[in-house]
Amino acid sequence: NSEISLFETNIRFMGSLLACYALTGDVMFRDKAAQLGERMLPAFQTETGIPHSLINLHTGTSKNYGWASSGCSILSEIGTMHLEFTYLSDITNNPVFKSKVENVRKVLKSLDKPRGLYPNYIHPRTGKWGQRAGHSTLVWREIDTAFNSRISTGAIVNTDYIDPLRFLQDVKNIVLEHVRSVMKRHGSIKVNTVFNGEFVADHMSLGGLGDSFYEYLLKAWIQSGKEDIEAREMYDEAIAAITEHMIKTSPGKLVYVSDLKYDRLEHKMGHLACFAGGMFALGAKTVENELSDKYMNIAAGLTNTCHESYDRSVTKLGPEAFHFIEGNEARSLKNGEKYYILRPETFESYFVMWRLTKDPKYREWGWEAVQALEKHCRVPGGFTGLNNVYLADSAKDDVQQSYFFAETLKYLYLLFSDDDLISLDDWVFNSEAHVLPIKGNPLYRPASPL
């Protein structure tokens, strides 16, 4: 009887139940997955069918995070349910699950994409990028101040806008009216303009908030036995736009994918985006065309850059985020970015790149990581994250993440396994590395038609 993440419940709990059913055939796992799916459905009961981020599985009430762009849903979350809900419908003969995620895709496909890119936020009420429904509530609000010498202090609080220019245009008359009023009474005025917060409409990312949406477009096509042409087309269009606008090469010749905020590149890459090397490679190898070599080169470049972020640290483990400034590339520049919390994304790309290219360096890099984990993260109770990868004796965070087992260790183990152990021809990995069968795999186990 509490609020939990719909997205995390799906990739962790639903994904693991479905994987267990595929691998064992035990209907208990299928039935539990169906029960969980039914409890998750109320999150989709919005004006557009775009689900909320948080749900109470006991009461069925749902809502979005308060911090997410004025009540918006998040691209990576709403787009990372297709594999699980499609498979759940196929093994239960209940089309409702598949219909929910197909509607989400329909809404996203119908929207105009700025430069072909998908912003990270969408409002479930309007179905528009990062916009709050309803009328503007812009008013001048007096604010108490501790400085007695101030005549008055006030602000216009933004709760509706995500576009800075539109906000400034709409507040202009309110500000001018207030300024004129003060000038009439006092003859002078001091104006400070401060933006406290962040306008996020035009934030595009292949890291957190965006990442697995793109991954699931590609994998939905693969999971369907390459029958879901719409998914592949949406993936190809999105990747072409990402390649044009967000893939960059540093002065030191490192390939990286940068977040894009209000038309400005951040020249920073997060660890979460390190899965992208494997995704680019999987996309290139599953459709051979004139772009395949280009995308494989990007895949290799991104994976190399993520390895460099590890290799340039004292612990040989990668920071949460790293920058690309000449003379200081693939390194974290802020204390709040120097931690490592047992993340798997770099090892995921090593695994996929090894399977698809057989270049031995990916196993060599994986073994470096195993040794670093053993040396710096193993403790008597298990494994822990590090507060600072640039310190040999970094303080530990005393947290063993569940994805360390589901993803990190799994990808490292499979990196050194034979190709027929969870073959990429038969299985797709969900965003938590739980394995789901591809149509045609005998373990797909579809339900008999009613």
Q: Which helix (H) or strand (E) holds 88?
A: helix 82-92
Cβ count near 46 (within 10 Å): 17
Tell me if residue 211 is catalytic.
yes
CA distance 125 to 184: 43
Beta strands (DSSP E) in 273-387 are 321-325, 328-331, 378-379, 382-383
**Residues belonging to the chain:** 450
The answer to whether residues 449 and 93 touch, using CB atoms and an 8 Å cutoff, is: yes
Residue 53 marked in a binding site: no
Please identify which of the residues 320, 329, 337, 348 carries the catalytic annotation: 320
The answer to whether residues 210 and 174 touch, using CB atoms and an 8 Å cutoff, is: no
Give every CB contact of residue 9 below 8 A, 6+ residues apart in sequence.
36, 40, 55, 57
Q: Is 142 helix (H, G, I), strand (E, B) or coil?
A: strand
Q: Which helix (H) or strand (E) holds 74?
A: strand 73-74
CA distance 144 to 400: 45
DSSP state of 271: G
Tell me if residue 8 is catalytic.
yes
User: CA-CA-CA-CA torsion for 348, 351, 352, 356, nearest 10 degrees?
Assistant: 170
Give every CB contact of residue 171 below 8 A, 6+ residues apart in sequence.
138, 156
Cβ count near 278 (within 10 Å): 27
Cβ count near 70 (within 10 Å): 20
Tell me if residue 84 is catalytic.
no
Please identify which of the residues 202, 211, 236, 432 carries the catalytic annotation: 211
Please identify which of the residues 3, 8, 102, 266 carries the catalytic annotation: 8
Please identify which of the residues 215, 259, 345, 407 carries the catalytic annotation: 345
Query: In this structure, what token pair is assigned to residue 340?
Result: 């490592």
Q: Which of 10, 237, 229 is nearest to 112 (CA)?
A: 237
The answer to whether residues 339 and 386 touch, using CB atoms and an 8 Å cutoff, is: yes
What are the CA-CA distances from residue 127 to residues 104, 191, 393 (Å)?
10, 37, 49
CA distance 114 to 448: 43
Give the residue numbers of the binding site for Ca(2+): 431
Return the active site residues.
Answer: 8, 211, 320, 345
Give the residue numbers of the binding site: 431
